[in-house]
Chains A and B, each alone.
Chain A
């Protein structure tokens, strides 16, 4: 039995010689072979990071769009069963004075019907060209400080706070622009022949109840977005909707708030503390997202992890084969090294260090590609999915974990073939038997 210091000394010398051999073998081996192995490792890394990142990105893209174009970091809506946010003026004052609130956009909301054809009456067996929709009244200037709603205007122009009688209409309400136009869904009657410049008639019920209020608007623009709260809504200025509903007070139905994302949770608590939790429903953007979307996100996460696991197995087999072939082709030299007195540990270390080098290099190039090329690319050119614009979701912490996993797998996959070759009989290796 060897003493611990002696054993440690042997391993230290073995590691030193292993390092000496590995550095020279990497430096002086074929550049093309090295590049090919690193390329394989890069692909493996990207397989680990990008596949799961894109799967998550399909959903996260919609989360981000929801926040950027509709909710801001925090959104306050009417409490269930209430018509409006209680003490709206007080909340507005509170938000105006809150140091962490960068901007906020109060919105009115009601429901009504939009009649698309004003010039002729439908025939007896035809339904009128009209449909029900939620109508929102917003202040374009305040909205611009909170969301990028204006960028959703794909046809025509954005509302102007100083003008009256204009509306924006969601693309999914119009036969001409809706993604569902050809789906023939029973009960879904989209507005036909309505486009920018069309005159439409809006009918709402007064807040007192009972009285129908009718007003005509000119369609100023079409808004199209993967966010339902935009593409299936009608937008007018807050002043127009306020006068339409004959509201005297500031009784808002929705307030979108811009703050630091890291402060969102705290701001929700601040508002609840100020208002009381029953006066309104205050949520972070993430909490306001429908549960089914979050369920999809979880499912995508599981799916991404499953695919990553397969990628890991493929990676470990790849590394195993690369190192095994490398070791097998040098079997005679390995035998000679052992024969002249180089310890098996030193030879194993040399292959292990090479495997780690390939794993680290592949990960490094993969990281550069991921954060320097792919992530910005998908941010600027998201994948066009029906329900979201898919982005690449990858965080430094997530990437670091994957690098660690890849290196761990590399160590195992590099050690095993080296061990297999090194343990062979020295003389058999030398003689190639």
Chain B
């Protein structure tokens, strides 16, 4: 599903060069729920950006579904993000002028679905995260936990092959954090491949596999019991 070979990411050059990722090799199978952990500055988010095609590695290769992503154009990458990948951002990243339903339906509209089909699919996704009764609310009318669940619904509504989540619980209290993690767990049980960044062990435990990064290198890659 995801294969990373000798992935390196460097910022700056010369004396100011900072190696954020150092020769990462990694393989994630279909249906896995992987948590990437590590202290601040370990390179967790940078790794996620490379895997999710939001950034380009300095060297090395990322294969998604056996596709060599370095050979894709920006337009092809955008299309791949639209059709294959799903994203959950730390700060929800919902469009404030769109209702929960509209936020979720947006990607399906972009895919070319009819308004009715997109809304129906969005309603289904919102129902899966327990927000059927809030679908016509604007983000400003929802709590942080509810907004993050809308964000999850948006990420899964178009049935992505891989779901990426960048510290999805960072802005939530403990109760809402566990609600969101439960949502991820439910998705995983239905076969969804998930790659999640977190720096909190409590939430990492929801995953079936934890990859621990430090100074841009994988120092531990273990299955959760």
Does B associate with A? yes
Interfacial residues, chain A to chain B (CB-CB below 8 A): 9, 13-14, 16-17, 20-21, 24-25, 27-29, 332-333, 336-344, 346, 426-427, 430
16 contacts between A and B (CB under 8 A): A13-B109, A14-B110, A17-B110, A21-B97, A28-B138, A29-B97, A332-B93, A337-B106, A339-B54, A339-B87, A340-B155, A341-B82, A341-B107, A341-B110, A342-B110, A427-B54
The CA-CA distance from A332 to B95 in the complex, in Å, is 10
Distance in angstroms between the alpha carbons of A427 and B74 in the assembled complex: 13
Within 8 A of A (CB), among B57-102: 78-79, 81-83, 85-87, 89, 93, 95-98, 102
Q: Are A9 and B112 in contact (CB under 8 A)?
A: yes
Q: Which 5 A-B pairs have the closest CB atoms?
A: A341-B82, A28-B97, A336-B93, A341-B81, A25-B97
Chain A residues, Cβ within 8 Å of B96: 28, 333
Interface pair B49/A427, CB less than 8 Å apart = yes
Contact A341 B109 (CB under 8 A): no
Residue of A24, A343, A427 near B102 (CB, 8 A) is A24
Say yes or no: A333 contacts B112, CB within 8 Å: no
Residues of B in contact with A, size category: 20 to 34
Given the complex of chains A and B, what is the CA–CA distance between A338 and B106 in angstroms? 12
B55 proximal to A (CB < 8 A): yes
Where chain A touches its partner, the secondary structure class is: helix
A20, A338, A340: the one within 8 Å of B154 (CB)? A340
Inter-subunit contact A13/B110 (CB<8 Å)? yes
Task: Report whether B93 and A20 are in contact in the complex, using a CB–CB cutoff of 8 Å.
Answer: no
Which residue of B79, B81, B106, B112 has the most chain A CB atoms within 10 A of its CB atom? B106
**Nearest A residue to B84 by beta-carbon distance?**
A341
B83: which A residues are within 8 A, CB to CB? 341
Contact B82 A16 (CB under 8 A): no
- Chain A residues, CB < 8 A from B98: 21, 24
CB nearest to A27 among chain B residues: B97
Per-position contact with A for B95-123: 1 when CB-CB < 8 Å, else 0? 11110001000110111100000000000
How far apart are B93's CB and chain A's nearest CB, in angstroms? 4
Count of A-B contacts judged by CB separation below 8 Å: 70
| Contact between chains at A427 and B55 (CB < 8 Å) | yes
- Chain B residue at smallest Cβ distance from A338: B78
Q: Do B87 and A340 touch (CB < 8 A)?
A: yes
Q: A333 to B95, Cβ gap below 8 A? A: yes
Q: Which residue of A lies closest to B46 (CB)?
A: A427
User: Which of B79, B93, B102 has the most chain A CB atoms closer than 10 A to its own CB?
Assistant: B93
Known contacts A336-B93, A427-B49: A20-B109 contact under CB 8 Å: yes
| Closest Cβ–Cβ distance, residue B18 to chain A (whole Å) | 15
Q: Are B109 and A17 in contact (CB under 8 A)?
A: yes
Bound state CA distance, A337 and B93, in angstroms? Answer: 9
- Nearest chain B CB to A352 CB, angstrom units: 17
**Please, how many angstroms separate the alpha-carbon atoms of A143 and B97 in the complex?**
67
Q: Shortest Cβ distance from B212 into chain A, in angstroms?
A: 23
A343 and B81 in contact, given A24-B97, A25-B97 (Cβ under 8 angstroms): no
Cβ distance A358 to chain B, nearest Cβ, rounded Å: 16
Other-chain residue from B54, B78, B154 in contact with A430 (beta carbon distance below 8 A): B54
The smallest C-beta distance from A29 to any residue of chain B, in angstroms, reads 6
Q: Among A25, A336, A341, A426, which residue has its beta carbon within 8 angstroms of that of B89? A: A336
Q: Which residue of chain A has its CB nearest to the CB of B155?
A: A340
In contact, A20 and B97 (Cβ under 8 angstroms) = no
- Nearest neighbor of A340 in chain B, beta-carbon distance: B87
User: Can you name the residue of chain A whose Cβ is closest to the Cβ of B88?
Assistant: A340
Choose among A9, A17, A25, A426 the residue that contacts B106 (Cβ–Cβ < 8 A).
A17
Bound state CA distance, A338 and B112, in angstroms? 16
- Return chain B residues, CB-CB under 8 Å to A9: 112
Expressed in whole angstroms, the minimum distance between the Cβ of B101 and any Cβ of chain A is 11
Q: B56 — nearest CB in chain A belongs to which residue?
A: A427
Q: Which residue of B lies closest to A12 (CB)?
A: B112
The minimal Cβ–Cβ distance linking B194 to chain A, given in whole angstroms, is 16
**Beta-carbon nearest neighbor of B98 in chain A:** A24
Taking CB atoms, residues of chain B closer than 8 Å to A430 are 54, 89, 93
- In the assembled complex, which residues on chain A have CB atoms less than 8 Å from the CB atom of B97? 21, 24-25, 27-29
A343→B138 contact, CB < 8 A: no
Measured CA separation A344–B78 after assembly (Å)? 9
| B window 22-41: CB within 8 A of A | none
